[in-house]
Amino acid sequence: MTDTVAAPVSSSGAPQELSPRRLALRRFLRHRLAVVGAVVLLVVVLAAVVGPLLLPFDPNAVDPSAIRQPPNAEHLLGTDSAGRDVLARLLAGGRVSLLVGLTVALTATVIGLVLGAIAGFFGGWVDSVLSRITDVVLSFPTLIVVIIIVAFTGPSITTMILAVGLFEWPTAFRIVRGLVLSLRDQDSIRAVRGLGASTAHILVRHVIPSVIAPLTVVATILVAQAILLEAGLSFLGLGVPPPTASWGNMLNEAQSFTVLQSMPWLWIPAGCAIAITVLAVNFIGDGLRDASDPRSHR
Instruction: Give pLDDT tens digits for 103-155.
Output: 999 999 999 999 998 888 888 899 999 999 999 988 888 888 888 888 888 88
| 9: helix, strand or coil | strand
Task: Give 24 or 221, the one with higher predicted confidence.
Answer: 221
pLDDT band at 212 (very low <50, low <70, confident <90, very high): confident
pLDDT band at 63 (very low <50, low <70, confident <90, very high): confident
Dist. CA 291–CA 288, nearest whole Å? 5
Cβ-based neighbours of 260, under 8 Å, separated by 6 or more? 254, 267
Tell me if the bond preceding 243 is cis, omega within 30° of 0: yes
Dist. CA 67–CA 61, nearest whole Å? 12
What is the reported pTM?
0.82
Backbone φ, ψ for residue 9 (5° rounding): -105, 135
**Domains of the chain by range and CATH?**
23-53+78-291 (1.10.3720.10)
- 5 within 8 A of 26, measured Cβ to Cβ: yes
Whether 2 shows a pLDDT value over 60: the answer reads no
Instruction: Give pLDDT tens digits for 27-57.
Output: 888 888 989 999 999 999 999 999 888 888 8
Question: pLDDT value at position 3?
Answer: 46
pLDDT band at 296 (very low <50, low <70, confident <90, very high): low
Question: pLDDT value at position 266?
Answer: 87
Measured in residues, the chain has a length of: 298
Dist. CA 86–CA 198, nearest whole Å? 56
Dist. CA 288–CA 34, nearest whole Å? 8
Dist. CA 180–CA 221, nearest whole Å? 21
Give the closest residue to 250 by CA, choosing from 261, 258, 237: 237
Question: pLDDT value at position 205?
Answer: 78
Mean local confidence (pLDDT), 202-217: 80
The mean pLDDT value of the chain amounts to 83
